[in-house]
Amino acid sequence: WASSLRYHQGTYYVSTFAKTTGKTHVYSTKNIEKGPWKAVSFQPSLHDHSLFFDDDGRVYMVYGSGKIQLAELTADVAGLKPGTKPQVIIENASAPAGATPGLPAEGSQLFKIKGKYYLFNIAWPRGGMRTVIVHRADKITGPYEGRVALQDLGVAQGGLIDTPGGEWFAYLFRDFGAVGRIPYLVPVQWASGWPVVGSPAGKVPATLALPANKSLRPGLVASDEFARRAGEPALPLVWQWNHNPAPALWSVAERPGYLRLKTGRVDSSFLLARNTLTQRTIGPACAGTVALDVAHLHPGDFAGLAVLQKRYGLVGVQASQGAKAIVIVSAESEKPVELQRIPLTQNQVYFKIECDFQDRRDVATFFY
C-alpha cells in the first residue's frame, strides 16, 4: 500500500496501512541504515495517508479516496490524538480532473511551502489517464482550491522535492506494463503560487540534465554471485523475498558460493511458495542465468527460475519418485499450464530468462 517517509527532528518515520489488519502502522528509527526500528500501530486504517509534521508542533495524517480527510495524531505518532475526530477537508478531490472519475483522488502527499499547504493526489478519469491533482490552502483545514497539475503519459502519484540549489521536481511514477512502475523526476517551476509541472509545462521530458550519481549506492544492479567475504551482507539489498523472510529456509553459508533453498511447506501454487528469492527486472531489456544443483531434490520438490507476476512463467526441475524432469510452465491465462517436459538425468542444469520490455513488448524467453 502507499506509504509515507518522513524525517523530523532527528527521527525517520515510515508509515503505511493495511486492509488485512484494519490498522495504520508507523515505524521509526534514529538510524535508517542500521536501526533499531520501533513499531506502533493503531486503528483505523488510514488509506493512502501522508504523515505531516506542522511547524506548530502538531502532527497529522491526510488520507482518503475521493473524500480527503485530516486526522490529528499524538506528538509521538502513536495514535489518534484523544478528544479529536478526523474531519473532511476536501469533499471531492477528484473534481478538477472532470465529472467522471474512474479512480477517485488518492495517494495524498501534503507539503507546506512558504506558508501555504499543497496537497498532491492521483486520479484516473474514466476513459482518460492517470492525472496529478494539486490543491492548496492557507490553513491545513482549508478551504482548498484545486487544479490539474499534470496529465501526460499517465505519469502521476507522488509529490515535490527541492534541491539545495533551488531546483524543484515532482517525483512520480508511470505504469509501464510488465516491467512495473517506472519512477520519474519531472521539472517544476512556480507561477502565481502554484507548482507548474513539466518541461515545457504539462509535458514529461524523456531525459533530464542531472549530475552524475555520487551516492553511496551508485548501482541498481549488483553481482548475482553468492560467494561472500567476511563482513558482507548475506543478501545485498537488490534481493527481495516474495513473502516475509523465512530464515530457516535459505543459506549462503551452508555451501559457500551457493544459495541453498529448502522446502518449508507444501504449497498448491508457485505464487504461494515461501522460499522464492527475487530481483526486480530492469528495462528496456535484461536477462538472468542460474546454475542449479538438483541432487538433493525430494519427490514433489520443484526448483527453477521464473518471471514473477500474476501471469507468471517459469522453467525448473520437478522431482518425482525415481526421476527428474525439466518443466516449462506458463500462467499467461492466470492458470498454470505445462508447456513442455523433458527428462533430466544429470544433477546440474542451467536456466536463463531474457526479458524484452521495449515499447511494452513484455516478452520473456526461457532457455534450458
Q: Which pTM was predicted? A: 0.85
Indicate the pairing of strand 240-241 with strand 277-278. antiparallel
Query: What digits encode the pLDDT tens for the residues 153-164?
Result: 999 999 999 999
Query: What digits encode the pLDDT tens for the residues 145-194?
Result: 999 999 999 999 999 999 999 999 999 999 998 988 999 999 999 999 99
**Residues counted in the chain:** 368
Give yes or no for a contact between 266 and 254, defined as CB atoms under 8 angstroms apart.
Answer: no
**pLDDT at residue number 88:** 98
Query: What digits encode the pLDDT tens for the residues 198-227?
Result: 999 999 999 998 887 776 555 567 788 999
Phi then psi dihedrals of residue 17, to 5 deg? -145, 165
SS3 345: coil
Q: Could you identify the residue written with the cell 495524517? A: 61
Domains in the chain (CATH in brackets) are: 4-197 (2.115.10.20), 240-367 (2.60.120.200)
Burial 277-292 (b: 16+ CB within 10 A, else e): eebebebeebeeeeeb
**pLDDT at residue number 363:** 95
DSSP lists the bridge partners of residue 191 as: 194
Cβ within 8 Å of residue 38, ≥6 positions away: 27, 28, 29
Average pLDDT, integer, range 126-132: 93
